[in-house]
A and B are shown apart, each in its own frame.
Chain A
Amino acid sequence: MSHKTWVFIEQFKSTLAQPSLEALGEARRLAAGRGGGVTALLFGQDIEGLAPDVIAYGADEVLLADDATLAEFRAEPYASLLSKLAQERQPDVILAGATTRGRDVLGIAAVDLGTGALADVTELKLVGDQIVATRPVYAGKLLAEVVGERRPLLLSLRPRAFPRPEPDASRSGGIEKVTPALAEDAIAVKVTDYAVDEGRVSLADARIIVSGGRGVGGPEGFAPVRELAETLGAAMGASRAAVDAGWIPYAHQVGQTGKTVAPDLYIAAGISGAIQHQAGMRSAKTIVAINKDPEAPIFKLARYGIVGDLFKILPALTAEFKKRLGQ
């Protein structure tokens, strides 16, 4: 039986998405355990230049579709092509990042291929020949071991749950060109524009996140949060209380009804640590809590705790790190 592992590669404006690189790393690990090799699916327009990088990060082979219909990500043409290729070539497993694009592509492929999709996986193991995935359920309050009995098995991997592999420029691999499955007039959705948030570190990819909650007191209270974030090259997060108050846009919200993040370092300032906030950040490796209430639940989760006023502590931290990081 063949054990071909495929990886759906996501790129945005010709930059490879971090979660796709993490998926390539995990695909290599599966291939090492079972054989079968790693095939990357790289779709877009004028993206042939990315193929060597995809190989360096772990692919043995790249199926490259370069076409105007694939210029902007759209679920229909991307997923239709993935499904068609999978029907023809019968991979065993297809991995993608658990991003908006990854979920849409795998959700459609599940229907096309009549197979199961496991979303937001945080751990993968091989038990004999069986792939067992672990994923958080109930907003991260419990974990479940999940399996899929049909093939190909579709898996989306939670960003930052798996290590990003080191690129190896000496790796070699083949590039095969494939043609789109859908013509433009068969695609219902047209992309007219993209409003990119400039200069913002994406929460999902961030190694460090500095977040503010109701304790910052108002929109201007995010200034010390932003200064520390900029000093650390971090993304800025927020609790729902701060978002609902209109102090900061929803795109920054961390938690059950916001983003789920897993940075190396999460600094929570003026956030009590409600269970719905925890749902979004509890898998951070190191949590630092700054809160003037020593009883705040966030301290139960934190590695380091500072009982004090965030308006005094954050500027002191900014000054200290500017010094340490030579800024």
Chain B
Amino acid sequence: MHVVVCVKQTPDSAAKMSVDNGKVTWGDSGLVVNPWDEYAIEEAIRLKEKHGGKATAISMGPESAKEALKTCLAMGCDEAVLISDPALKGSDALATSYVLAKAIEKLGDVGMVLFGKQAIDGDTGLVPVAVARRLNWSPLTYTIKIAELDPGTKIIKAERLLEQGKQIVTATLPAVVGTVKDINEPRYPSFMGIRKAAKAVINTWSAADLGLDASQIGAAGSPTHWPRVFPLPARAGSVELIDGTPEEIAAKLADKLLADKVI
């Protein structure tokens, strides 16, 4: 089975974010594979190891996103494709889902496409289900376990983590699987993998290569916009330290929390 994993490059999760002249910056912190996508990459590699076939990583982003794709190759993906074009800049979730769906169609023989839960920059979590809709594939978002998969009969049984517990579902391939953190423990790239990835050639597809409709991509083709980004308001007041014996502390804190009406 050919599995695809969609990966975004984002600022490091430990980066200090600030706004400079209306533009978001993160100092000299690096760019990384979106942390949520590591679980999707691991799952793609495990599926290929178990069922044969290949795992392809795709990313839409600037040239720098090749680094994220190299991490995918170093972990064990077989191929990687960067979708990059100045016309794609400013694409929102709707536009991104259009571009990724077109790329998956172009790959042709895909049985499953895996996603992270959300990208830690925009934090929308909309792209996976939107891609499923565009492809008209089974939407299995928030998957915490692929319990059974039979590429022959094309039946997949998955457990989805919803607010009240786990929903257990069966569906048919091809499917879109959105992963959540507990699905697996992502591996580190191996030394050999890193060496191989360093030499790998990563194909780049442009908007024209995918035959994209210009009115559906980039900032102009996106229905949502962020006219203003700003830092969080400072938390009012500073910490009030409470001391004494444990019993005294408990009594003082109880007084305060009851007075504040938070209990």
Tell whether A and B belong to one assembly: yes
Give the B-binding residues of A (Cβ under 8 A).
Answer: 12, 17, 72-76, 79, 99-101, 103-104, 106-108, 110-112, 114-120, 135-150, 188-197, 202, 204, 208, 232, 249-251, 253, 256-258, 264-265, 275-276, 282, 285-286, 288-289, 299-308, 312-313, 315-317, 319-321, 324-325
> Once the chains are docked, how many angstroms separate the CA of A298 from the CA of B122?
25
Give the residue among B121, B260, B263 with the most A Cβ atoms within 10 A: B263
List chain B residues, Cβ under 8 A from A276.
Answer: 13-14
Q: Is B201 an interface residue (CB 8 A)?
A: no
CB of A108 within 8 A of CB of B133, answer yes
CB of B250 within 8 A of CB of A192, answer no
Given A99-B162, A104-B141, A144-B230; 4 other pairs, CB 8 A cutoff: A100-B161, A107-B126, A142-B18, A288-B257
Give the A-binding residues of B (Cβ under 8 A).
Answer: 11, 13-14, 16-19, 24, 35-36, 92-94, 97, 120-130, 132-134, 137-142, 157, 159-172, 180-182, 222-232, 235, 237, 239-243, 246-247, 249-251, 253-254, 256-258, 260, 262-263
CB of B247 within 8 A of CB of A316, answer yes
List chain B residues, Cβ under 8 A from A303.
Answer: 237, 239-240
List chain B residues, Cβ under 8 A from A73.
Answer: 162, 167
CB of A304 within 8 A of CB of B164, answer no
List chain B residues, Cβ under 8 A from A275.
Answer: 13-14, 16
List chain A residues, Cβ under 8 A from B129.
Answer: 75, 103-104, 107-108
21 residue pairs bridging A and B, Cβ less than 8 Å apart: A12-B163, A103-B141, A111-B94, A111-B134, A112-B133, A114-B223, A116-B224, A117-B94, A144-B228, A145-B226, A188-B137, A189-B140, A189-B169, A190-B170, A195-B166, A257-B36, A288-B253, A304-B241, A305-B239, A305-B240, A320-B247
List chain A residues, Cβ under 8 A from B137.
Answer: 188
Give how many A-B residue pairs fall within 8 Å (CB-CB): 254
CB distance from B227 to the nearest CB of A (A): 6
